[in-house]
Structure 1
């Protein structure tokens, strides 16, 4: 046995006993159907619009949508992009796709139409599911932009947020070119890469369930109490720890679409939610929100797991004072696979200085610059082997091959230290990605747009440290002539259709860029420069 596996055989076996002792091949669909048969009238999902669906109602709505999709000629194995808000309809459309044997490719609702088109083309999607409207966006109009950008045949299903009406738009053009899919593919997640384009991350049912089962076992998640999910279901966090975990355990899923910390406290209090997984800024907002009640904040919630950014010790202390019944924990994963989480009884100081302990079956190491496994306690690039590891990047075979060491470890691109007990402490990252509120943002698209500005000589976009979000987007500019104002920079990006979520939140004017001998900008030095300034 590999001595580097920092978990016990007993813990690994307990996971199997929890969910798979009778049939280890049961999928979330199978498990949900079992829960449906046992109690069809239990609420399966509710959202912050006060909409709710029982298991029976969810199953029937999913059946209608499945039939609707199949009537358009889609069959098992076809890929369908699901880009829906955190509504009860998200679960219905997802369940419909899965029940039809099709492969869901899930995107957050904030994705702009050109990016939806790029991902749909990358994975060979034959249909895209969208809301008709959401937060002022007209998706009927945006679907035209999507189709024009895609330039091929496509079905678009538009849903009203009332469970009642649906409408199809079919766009003519050349037939879809279906890429080669990894064998056993059951789901596609998306994540930004250093190239500025999304990676299409293919998972099998086994890899998805391996991560789910580890979290469910470690935190004793059952169907007795609801799961609260404010993270987008189209993102890996919401998908894994919201949609799938609720289907597997039978727990009611309580969704929040529009983030409002006070509303979140009300939802958790009203529905007695037991667990959530969300980015650290969500916890920060809950701590900073006034709460006038006889009960403490998050009353009844046993665990709040923070991912995407380290948890400052002061925030943990504040949270434990305001939420005495809630254990604050850390969880670390990539869309490619899960790796670590705090244990329920970890002390606050251990939570603050680590990303938790490796999950059952996970081997986590660091490597030297030469790619050699380093001794425990050595700071280096984090590599891993995990049963939850993805199958491949669709349409990006070279990127997939380059993501592994010669001896088969997946290279995470982050740097850190793994101690003798299997606890991970992050120290940095090799990538240039900005992690804002737990969301990876590539600077490439912003830099490319700003590079065309007539007054900008050189540009580098980096993350400025921020207490709440972890990082905020900062554009460092070397200027020729009169510096443009911040407002002028934003207008420039707007005129070039750069999505608002990528706009800088501050700019820094410099007289020259620190560079390598080869002329590459030293972003590490820029980060140090702006981190010393007040935001």
Structure 2
């Protein structure tokens, strides 16, 4: 399948058409576009709550009416089928309406997690977006016209009929967090979202539908796609959202509106569990963590405070998913997973290699990035994730970390993830991340960046090193050689720890403590 936007953006499906047809024939993909699915949900239960934000509750009937008005406004602005439309709105009802309206006119939604002018220019330019839905807080980037929700709702009523859209066409462009490089864009079809992605969210439910999903992650993020296209359009559930993450406000909404599931990155879940108001709540079936490694102390604190399971999801915008609710066994109706060696051959059970994925969830391609398609897409449609993992004899996946995320200390490779999980277990540490800092002698050294627990004194580097050696037996060469203490770790717009910012701060500010005892060669 080759799709071309009116502005000339070409998106090519790297999955063989025969496979896509097979998944549809099996019932793994619905074969209907997301806007159609949303209208079916609205007709089936018009009085059910569709979206709840701090301002109130909107029913499916009210949401559908608003979507019709805004979609007519988009058409009046000259937008329609085969356009890409950016969405730069904070989480809330407006963001939900905007995305559904874009899908209704047959356009491709490009929700943008980072609304800075630089990022907007890059994403809108590379995607050849024909329009941008934003608000007064959006810096005016050069490029497509900025349309506000107020203007769209006030436009002269025109043709608001839904477009006829092939489910194999692109529906949404996912944007990576940009924590390691310039944000990538990945194009997903209607079937890939309503099929693979919706099936993984449905598998988390472990109870009767409809679900009530509180998505703490930004709706514009890959993890946040569990919100509008999945919870509302594909599943017909109730979506709880915030304009931006606030632990106290989130807990108040949880107490009042009783979500069944709460979706957040580890940093968000840690801050929820650490809040004085955190407590067990009726109706809460699980907390769902993704986007980064979930330290066991954070998972334990969540279980203790909320009295419910914590489900960890391994997933990414590149099209891979596996989660602990399914025993970490890949679901072929979402995506099959295999472990590949450097030559692409499949590794046997028990042997580590790169995680490759293929299934109904698999995206079409990277957007305006043939170099990424050449690097990460393999014959037959397989996606190279860039992560290391191993499958055991029972088919359970263990993720071992990024292939390239290592600190090279004089030729000795250190996994920052391994060390930061142990640092985070220190009783005085609330959050931890480990990053490399440049060194003239060894090339790189490891810096531990921490935030102390409320009321606790942060350990100095010597104390931390002693704890890691004595409590966890960490070998000397892996011990952090610099320490940076911060009130909070910086976050990306998607809620992950921003390692680029930390690396910059650490290189500029962190200094080795007691070098005679902690610097090693």
Q: TM-score, normalised by structure 2?
A: 0.70
Aligned residue number for residue 363 of structure 1 = 336
CA distance change for structure 1 residues 65 and 431 in 2, over 3 Å: closer, same or farther?
farther
The structural deviation recorded for 1:474 is 6.2
> Counterparts of 2:381 and 2:48 in 1: how far apart (Å)?
45
Match of 1:400, SS state, is helix
Aligned residue number for residue 454 of structure 1 = none
Matches within 5 A, 1:301-450: 301-324=284-307, 326-343=308-325, 356-361=328-333, 362-405=335-378, 409-432=382-405
Matches within 5 A, 1:1-20: none
Match of 1:388, SS state, is coil
Match of 1:358, SS state, is coil
- Residue pair 2:218, 2:224 contacting (<8 A) in 1 also: yes
The structural deviation recorded for 1:428 is 2.0
Aligned residue number for residue 219 of structure 1 = 205
The structural deviation recorded for 1:131 is 1.9
CA distance change for structure 1 residues 219 and 338 in 2, over 3 Å: closer, same or farther?
farther
- Residue pair 1:473, 1:503 contacting (<8 A) in 2 also: no
CA distance change for structure 1 residues 213 and 122 in 2, over 3 Å: closer, same or farther?
same
- Residue pair 2:388, 2:401 contacting (<8 A) in 1 also: yes
Match of 2:176, SS state, is strand
The structural deviation recorded for 1:76 is 0.8
- Residue pair 1:303, 1:328 contacting (<8 A) in 2 also: yes
| Counterpart check, 1:258 vs 2:230 | no
| Counterpart check, 1:471 vs 2:433 | yes
CA distance change for structure 1 residues 166 and 335 in 2, over 3 Å: closer, same or farther?
farther
- Residue pair 1:279, 1:308 contacting (<8 A) in 2 also: yes
CA distance change for structure 1 residues 473 and 297 in 2, over 3 Å: closer, same or farther?
farther
- Residue pair 1:414, 1:428 contacting (<8 A) in 2 also: yes
| Counterpart check, 1:43 vs 2:49 | yes
CA distance change for structure 1 residues 469 and 239 in 2, over 3 Å: closer, same or farther?
farther
| Counterpart check, 1:282 vs 2:255 | no
Deviations 1:503-530 (Å, cap 9, x if unpaired)?
33732479xxxxxxxxxxxxxxx9xx9x
Match of 1:90, SS state, is helix
**Which of 140, 146, 149 matches 1:156?**
146
CA distance change for structure 1 residues 317 and 193 in 2, over 3 Å: closer, same or farther?
closer
The structural deviation recorded for 1:402 is 1.9
Deviations 1:291-326 (Å, cap 9, x if unpaired)?
27xxx33432101111122322333333222222x2
Match of 1:301, SS state, is coil
Deviations 1:410-458 (Å, cap 9, x if unpaired)?
2100112121222222212124599xxxxxxxxxxxxxxxxxxxxxxxx
- Residue pair 1:222, 1:250 contacting (<8 A) in 2 also: no
Aligned residue number for residue 32 of structure 1 = 38
CA distance change for structure 1 residues 121 and 469 in 2, over 3 Å: closer, same or farther?
farther
Aligned residue number for residue 170 of structure 1 = none
| Counterpart check, 1:58 vs 2:48 | no
- Residue pair 1:188, 1:200 contacting (<8 A) in 2 also: yes
**Which of 178, 200, 205 matches 2:190?**
205
- Residue pair 2:223, 2:291 contacting (<8 A) in 1 also: no
> Counterparts of 1:226 and 1:273 in 2: how far apart (Å)?
5
CA distance change for structure 1 residues 100 and 163 in 2, over 3 Å: closer, same or farther?
closer
How many residues matched? 409
- Residue pair 2:337, 2:357 contacting (<8 A) in 1 also: yes
> Counterparts of 1:503 and 1:409 in 2: how far apart (Å)?
32
> Counterparts of 1:387 and 1:469 in 2: how far apart (Å)?
36
CA distance change for structure 1 residues 76 and 409 in 2, over 3 Å: closer, same or farther?
closer
Deviations 1:158-199 (Å, cap 9, x if unpaired)?
236x997799xxxxxxxxxxxxxx972222111257993332
The structural deviation recorded for 1:289 is 1.2
Aligned residue number for residue 230 of structure 1 = 216
Please list every run of 5 or more consecutive structure 2 residues that lacks an aligned counterpart in the other structure.
1-21, 157-166, 408-415, 425-429, 442-482, 484-496
> Counterparts of 1:40 and 1:224 in 2: how far apart (Å)?
13
- Residue pair 1:212, 1:241 contacting (<8 A) in 2 also: no
- Residue pair 1:363, 1:386 contacting (<8 A) in 2 also: yes
The structural deviation recorded for 1:277 is 2.1
Aligned residue number for residue 121 of structure 1 = 125
- Residue pair 2:319, 2:383 contacting (<8 A) in 1 also: no
> Counterparts of 2:48 and 2:432 in 1: how far apart (Å)?
39
Matches within 5 A, 1:68-79: 68-79=73-84
Aligned residue number for residue 187 of structure 1 = 172
- Residue pair 1:223, 1:251 contacting (<8 A) in 2 also: yes
Q: TM-score, normalised by structure 1?
A: 0.68
Aligned residue number for residue 437 of structure 1 = none
Q: CA RMSD in A?
A: 3.7
The structural deviation recorded for 1:477 is 6.5
> Counterparts of 1:318 and 1:121 in 2: how far apart (Å)?
43
The structural deviation recorded for 1:376 is 1.1
> Counterparts of 2:224 and 2:236 in 1: how far apart (Å)?
16
- Residue pair 2:193, 2:229 contacting (<8 A) in 1 also: no
CA distance change for structure 1 residues 257 and 166 in 2, over 3 Å: closer, same or farther?
farther
**Which of 110, 119, 135 matches 1:131?**
135
> Counterparts of 1:195 and 1:269 in 2: how far apart (Å)?
36
The structural deviation recorded for 1:253 is 0.9
> Counterparts of 1:78 and 1:64 in 2: how far apart (Å)?
19
> Counterparts of 2:358 and 2:296 in 1: how far apart (Å)?
30
